[in-house]
């Protein structure tokens, strides 16, 4: 046994259907697979979703889109945050850029013209209040002028919402949706309009427009316990007890002697550390793992390749299985909460060196 990340493809397909059931059958679904499909596996997740009939994929960067093409993906791919130096590569791999500023619009138009490609599919990103990327409503007139002179085919217009999971920000979200609807009204019916992320789909289905973008929902989380129940975590992180030590009162554990036993304490050493994505915040009693269905606290400092857990109260042996998160114990989201973070962060932090194991049967 070793540290493995199990990827349950049947759960992914169930989540895809669960999300589709929240929207009208005509609405297209874009699957967000940036950051190695939220830390899981690009080929496994994208091939499975392509077969299931997803309409679009999105990644953050051009290099991520290239990885999808190299995995044999034929579905259109939107690159959310391309950089000017990578635009030729995007064209070479048939990736569709999000154009979010005049700087990148001009750079991309020039490349398309110089290479006489003509009518290259692109997407326009609008800023409606997240204030991260995108053209503003004020820039609309200038944008329409400079855009239509160029050799680009406008496939979609979109925006991103800041707080779809937060009921206290309903007013703000409604305002963002209003701005987006107003921007949309300046375009003819051709471009696909999309604004909702997972929590948007769950909380504002009336704003689904022509397409929705789901990331975390596909991987099993709805940012709300009510919705988490309808979804199934796709990945489980498992490891093993490498060695057991017994500390006497006064003996210390690990770097900087961060833990000192106040009584006889049994310790299990596990082959996973901060280089694998278990950040130092999980150490010193904050995070727990599960052994023989019982919680074991992570004690002392998290090391690069190891963590140590308190197994004093657990009847276990070297070689026993350890669950860090799994569907039937604690989820990635509840594990993340122990370190004051969110499912997105723990999932995408899981390093390449953790072996991925595909589970294909329910």
Stretch of residues binding ligand PLP (CB under 6 A), selected from 70-78, 108-116, 209-217, 224-232: 209-217
**In the chain, beta strands by DSSP E:** 4-8, 28-32, 56-59, 77-79, 96-99, 120-126, 152-159, 192-194, 211-214, 235-240, 243-247, 252-253, 259-260, 265-270, 288-291, 294-299, 307-310, 321-325, 355-359
Tell which one of 214, 301, 331, 343 touches ligand PLP (CB under 6 A). 214
Of 119, 170, 249, 255, the active-site residue reads 255
Instruction: Return the number of the residue (216 or 308) whose C-beta is nearest ligand PLP.
Output: 216
Using CB under 6 A as the binding rule, whether residue 5 contacts ligand PLP is answered as no
17's tokens: 């259907």
DSSP codes of every residue in 262-288: SS-EEEEEES--GGGT--GGGTTTT-E
Phi, psi of 297, deg, nearest 5: -70, 140
Closest approach of ligand PLP to the CB of residue 349, in Å: 15
Whether the CB-CB separation of 102 and 91 falls below 8 Å is answered with: no
Using CB under 6 A as the binding rule, whether residue 197 contacts ligand PLP is answered as yes
Tell which one of 8, 160, 238, 297 touches ligand PLP (CB under 6 A). 160
Stretch of residues binding ligand PLP (CB under 6 A), selected from 179-187, 197-205, 255-263, 276-284: 197-205
Using CB under 6 A as the binding rule, whether residue 198 contacts ligand PLP is answered as yes
Using CB under 6 A as the binding rule, whether residue 215 contacts ligand PLP is answered as yes
Whether the CB-CB separation of 121 and 76 falls below 8 Å is answered with: yes
Q: Is position 290 annotated as part of the catalytic site?
A: no
Give dist(CA 299, CA 257) in Å, integer.
11
Closest approach of ligand PLP to the CB of residue 98, in Å: 8
Stretch of residues binding ligand PLP (CB under 6 A), selected from 67-75, 138-146, 213-221, 247-255: 213-221
User: What residues pair up with 212 in beta bridges, in sequence order?
Assistant: 29
Using CB under 6 A as the binding rule, whether residue 217 contacts ligand PLP is answered as yes
Tell which one of 8, 213, 238, 297 touches ligand PLP (CB under 6 A). 213
- How many positions of this chain bind ligand PLP (CB under 6 A)? 12
Q: Is position 255 annotated as part of the catalytic site?
A: yes
Burial-class residue 360 by CB neighbours within 10 Å (0-12, 13-18, 19+).
Answer: exposed
First to last CA, the chain: 22
| Residues in touch with ligand PLP (CB under 6 A) | 32, 34, 80, 160, 197-199, 213-217
Catalytic residues: 34, 255
């Amino acid at each position: 046994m070793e540290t493995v990340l199990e990827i349950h493809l049947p759960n992914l397909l169930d989540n895809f259907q669960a999300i589709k059931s929240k929207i009208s059958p005509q609405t297209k679904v874009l699957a967000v697979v940036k950051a190695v499909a939220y830390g899981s596996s690009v080929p496994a997740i994208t091939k499975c979703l392509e077969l299931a009939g997803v309409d679009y994929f999105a990644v953050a960067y051009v290099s991520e889109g290239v990885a999808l093409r190299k995995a044999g993906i034929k579905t259109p791919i939107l690159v959310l945050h391309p950089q000017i130096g990578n635009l030729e590569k995007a064209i070479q791999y048939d990736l569709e850029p999000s154009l979010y500023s005049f700087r990148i619009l001009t750079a991309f138009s020039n490349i398309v013209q110089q290479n006489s490609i003509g009518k290259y599919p692109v997407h326009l990103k609008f800023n409606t209040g997240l204030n991260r990327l995108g053209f503003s409503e004020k820039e609309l007139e200038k944008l329409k002028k400079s855009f239509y002179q160029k050799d680009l085919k406008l496939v979609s217009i979109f925006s991103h919402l800041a707080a779809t999971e937060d009921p206290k920000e309903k007013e703000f979200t409604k305002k963002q949706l209003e701005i987006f609807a107003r921007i949309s009204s300046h375009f003819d019916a051709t471009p696909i309009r999309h604004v909702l992320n997972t929590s948007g789909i769950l909380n504002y289905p009336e704003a689904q427009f022509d397409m929705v973008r789901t990331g975390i929902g596909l991987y099993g989380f709805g940012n709300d316990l009510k919705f988490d129940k309808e979804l199934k975590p796709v990945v489980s992180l498992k490891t093993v007890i490498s060695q057991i030590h017994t500390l006497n009162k006064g003996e210390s554990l690990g770097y900087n002697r961060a833990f000192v036993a106040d009584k006889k304490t049994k310790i299990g050493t596990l082959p996973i550390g901060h280089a694998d994505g278990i950040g130092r915040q999980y150490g010193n009693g904050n995070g727990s793992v599960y052994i023989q269905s019982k919680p074991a606290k992570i004690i002392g400092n998290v090391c690069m390749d190891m963590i140590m857990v308190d197994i004093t109260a657990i009847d276990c042996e070297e070689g026993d299985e350890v669950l860090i998160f799994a569907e039937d114990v604690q989820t990635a989201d509840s594990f993340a909460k122990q370190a004051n973070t969110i499912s997105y962060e723990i999932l995408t932090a899981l390093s390449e060196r953790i072996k991925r194991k595909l589970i294909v049967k329910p």
